[in-house]
């Protein structure tokens, strides 16, 4: 009720309010962590969202994996109405309400969360992963598939090779090669986890694909949840 971290009741409805909310939360982000290391084991959750714009529906999924074995420990989904349009820089306001619902349905909170998108690599340094980390208090980082406005030197050709991800002159993340000879992913700190630990977890989660297992499983699950909701007729 006096929680400074945005109760659902105050979710912004306009772009101006959303940007103001980002400016308010920005100084609260912990960029250094260190957060859990891979050696600490524990659990890591992946979250993702799918949309049906025709029916105004959004489905979110949270999939929890064991860090050491990559086995699925638990999963949850949530379906609701879209709460915000897609606006570059304001993605969190579109995705997070459903994601928070899905996370709330887990029996046990994960030790770490991986987002499909950016953390502090963001115009106001408050991308999806930073925002979700603040709202949950759980260490969180982002793995994005495209660099778009950010610049970077191409990483070496091998898995594990990395270069700085730059926003102008500012270092905001890493371009990280997760598979030999495959296009890199873009890792950025979200909240309460260091960039080094985020990159180590990303490599741990990519034993055979470019994208983390967490992201792949959450993506597939939220699509199934959306299809099921449509089938049930909403």
In the Cβ-directed half-sphere of 94, how many Cα atoms lie within 13 Å?
20
Answer yes or no whether residue 198 interacts with DNA by CB under 7 A. Answer: no
Taking contact as CB under 7 A, which single stretch among the options 34-42, 48-56, 63-71, 99-107 is the one that binds DNA?
48-56
Answer yes or no whether residue 91 interacts with DNA by CB under 7 A. Answer: yes
Taking contact as CB under 7 A, which single stretch among the options 60-68, 89-97, 103-111, 173-181 is the one that binds DNA?
89-97
What is the distance of C-alpha 121 from the center of its chain? 12
Q: Which is nearer to DNA, 21 or 37 (CB)?
A: 21
Answer yes or no whether residue 118 interacts with DNA by CB under 7 A. Answer: yes
Provide, rounded to whole angstroms, the least separation between the CB of residue 48 and DNA.
6
Answer yes or no whether residue 134 interacts with DNA by CB under 7 A. Answer: no
Beta bridge partners of 202: none
Q: Which residues contact 103 (CB under 8 A, 6 or more apart)?
A: 45, 47, 62, 76, 109, 113, 136
Q: What's the rounded Cα separation, in Å, for the pair 231 and 167?
A: 43
Terminal Cα distance for the chain, rounded: 32
Answer yes or no whether residue 79 interacts with DNA by CB under 7 A. Answer: no
**Of residues 4, 27, 107, 148, which one binds DNA by CB under 7 A?**
148
Token pair of 34 as six digits: 């260190």
**Of residues 21, 48, 101, 217, which one binds DNA by CB under 7 A?**
48
Query: Nearest 5°: CA angle at 110, between 229 and 42?
Result: 135
Provide, rounded to whole angstroms, the least separation between the CB of residue 146 and DNA.
4
Answer yes or no whether residue 89 interacts with DNA by CB under 7 A. Answer: yes
**Of residues 90, 98, 99, 229, which one binds DNA by CB under 7 A?**
90
Answer yes or no whether residue 212 interacts with DNA by CB under 7 A. Answer: no
Q: What's the rounded Cα separation, in Å, for the pair 117 and 92?
A: 10
Answer yes or no whether residue 81 interacts with DNA by CB under 7 A. Answer: no
Q: Is the dihedral of CA 148, 154, 158, 162 positive or negative?
A: negative
Answer yes or no whether residue 149 interacts with DNA by CB under 7 A. Answer: yes
Token pair of 180 as six digits: 């030999």
State the alpha helices, DSSP H only, in 14-111: 15-25, 91-104
Q: Which is nearer to DNA, 18 or 65 (CB)?
A: 18
Kindly list the residues in this chain that would bind DNA in the complex (CB under 7 A). Answer: 48-51, 53, 86, 88-92, 116-118, 122, 127-128, 142, 144-146, 148-149, 219, 223, 226
């Amino acid at each position: 009720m006096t929680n400074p971290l945005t109760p659902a009741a105050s979710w912004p409805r306009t772009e101006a309010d959303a940007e103001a909310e980002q400016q308010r939360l920005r100084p609260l982000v912990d960029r250094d962590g260190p957060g859990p290391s891979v050696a600490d084991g524990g659990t890591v959750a992946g979250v993702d969202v799918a949309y049906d714009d025709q029916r105004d529906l959004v489905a979110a999924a949270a999939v929890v994996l064991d860090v050491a074995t990559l086995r699925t420990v638990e999963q949850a989904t949530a379906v609701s109405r879209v709460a915000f349009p897609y606006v570059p820089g304001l993605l969190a306001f579109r995705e997070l309400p459903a994601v928070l619902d899905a996370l709330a349905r887990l029996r046990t909170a994960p030790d770490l969360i991986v987002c499909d998108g950016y953390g502090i690599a963001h115009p106001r340094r408050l991308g999806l992963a930073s925002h979700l980390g603040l709202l949950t208090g759980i260490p969180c980082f982002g793995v994005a598939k495209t660099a778009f406005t950010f610049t970077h030197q191409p990483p070496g050709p091998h898995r594990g090779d990395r270069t700085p991800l730059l926003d102008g002159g500012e270092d905001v993340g890493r371009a990280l090669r997760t598979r030999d000879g495959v296009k890199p992913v873009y890792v950025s700190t979200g909240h309460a986890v260091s960039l080094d630990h985020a990159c180590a977890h990303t490599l741990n989660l990519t034993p055979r694909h470019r994208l983390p297992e967490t992201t792949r499983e959450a993506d597939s699950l939220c699509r199934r949840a959306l299809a099921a909701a449509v089938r049930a007729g909403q």
